[in-house]
Amino acid sequence: MNKRFLILILLSLLAVMLAAYFAFFRSNPIEMEKEELVADSIPEPKIMFGLPVDSFELVSLKVKKNQTFSDILSQAAITQLTISRLVDSSQAVFNLRSIREGHSYHLFFQTDSVRKLKHLVYQIDKINYVRFTLQPEIAVEKGRRKVKTDTVITEGIITSSLWNTMKNSGINPMVALQMSDIYAWTIDFYGLQKNDRFKVVYTTQYIDSVEVGIERILSCRFNHSGKEFYAFYFVQDSLKGDYFDELGESLRRAYLKAPLKFSRISSSFSNSRLHPVLKIRRPHHGVDYAAPKGTPVMTIGDGKVVSMSWDGGYGRRVVIRHNSNHKTGYAHLSGYAKGLKQGDFVKQGDIIGYVGSSGLSTGPHLDFRFYENEKPVNPLTVESPPAIPVNENQKPQFQKLLDYWMKRLE
């Protein structure tokens, strides 16, 4: 075979080898990228109470009546020696007597051939917990679940009640409770009208993508009877925050708008009303709130209990003197607040009694009356002076906050 032909064959083989070599390295990165993509697509392990759930057999239960820490562990076949060591280790971390009926606890068993309890987690509340580790070493530590906070902007139109509107619109009804507290001095939520509307911004907390509670309303606009009511959360001078309107006036007032939460007006202030029991027309100088028996009744303002007794057709009645000009009466009660007595000083919002049907009454309701200079006036028209407004030196900061939220509420 001639030398030139042999060299040609060797060069051809070399060219084929080089082509295969480069083809391999050109294709290899693609394979690596595929492997990386597969790795990225693997979901992160589910973590609960600082433990990888998928690595254990998880059993979640609730503490039964009179069930102790020792009872819980004994059911999981834990020896008394181990229980005693856990009790000793807990002393500086958590009082085991604080374990309460109805609270959740979680047992983490190892998934090997032999089923053994490795961790017990007791939930103090939705966020805080205590983790008891049995293996490989005894350990007791407190922890907090990771909480995510989101800001939510939502709005609605009143169809029946604020509570029902929230519920039907898929809004957490707890927002309605916070709104009723914020506007307790300025809006009568028992007198809402159809097509009243609201827009609210609030923060809510999530644990494992499950909403666990409303944190705080940041700003709100409520249109009631064609009038706009604004509320803005503002902290001045590093003190506790409060709610103010667009003029910087506090939403807090000397008197609440109503002595009950989420009820309805069954009879208004009138100079001539047909009495439901006596069947005669006579003045009704108060407002009746229909509510289930036992509903808590609050005092609308600070004051002194000047009367607390059976009062004829009023039944059980409490009268509170707020100042030299004003007093209020709460009648037809089923009972009085525990420990309350004549002469006591009460604070705005304190429970003084419970809705009933004592005296001349056809059903459970509260007869609420407001007196000015000993004369009855319509409670729904009483204008209450505001509390302390935004301080002058805080006005620039409040204005920035106001401008920010106004754009979002509009």
Read out DSSP for 212-244? Answer: EEEEEEEEEEEEETTEEEEEEEE--TTS--EEE
pLDDT tens digits along 94-126 = 999 889 999 999 999 987 778 889 999 999 988
**DSSP label at residue 120:** E
In the chain, % of residues over pLDDT 90: 36
Q: Which residues contact 347 (CB under 8 A, 6 or more apart)?
A: 299, 302
- Of residues 108 and 324, the one with the higher pLDDT is 108
pLDDT digits (tens, 9 = 90+) for 200-237: 999 998 886 677 788 899 999 999 888 999 999 999 87
pLDDT recorded at residue 38 = 42
Q: What is the pLDDT of residues 133-150, one digit of tens each?
A: 998 889 999 998 888 888
Return d(Cα 270, Cα 282) in angstroms, integer.
9
| 237-245 own/partner pairs: CB under 8 Å, 24+ apart | 237/391, 237/394, 243/182, 244/389, 244/390, 244/398
Mean pLDDT of 335-350: 94
Looking at residues 7-25, what average pLDDT do you find? 58
Has residue 278 got a pLDDT over 70? no
Residues 257, 265: contact at Cβ < 8 Å? no
H-run or E-run covering 297: strand 296-298
Q: What is the pTM of this model?
A: 0.59
Supply the pLDDT for residue 160.
78
pLDDT at residue 24 is higher than 50:
no
The yes-or-no verdict on residue 327 having pLDDT over 90 is: yes
pLDDT-derived band at 361, boundaries 50, 70, 90: confident
Domains, the chain, ordered by start: 47-144 (3.10.450.350), 148-244 (3.10.450.350), 264-381 (2.70.70.10)
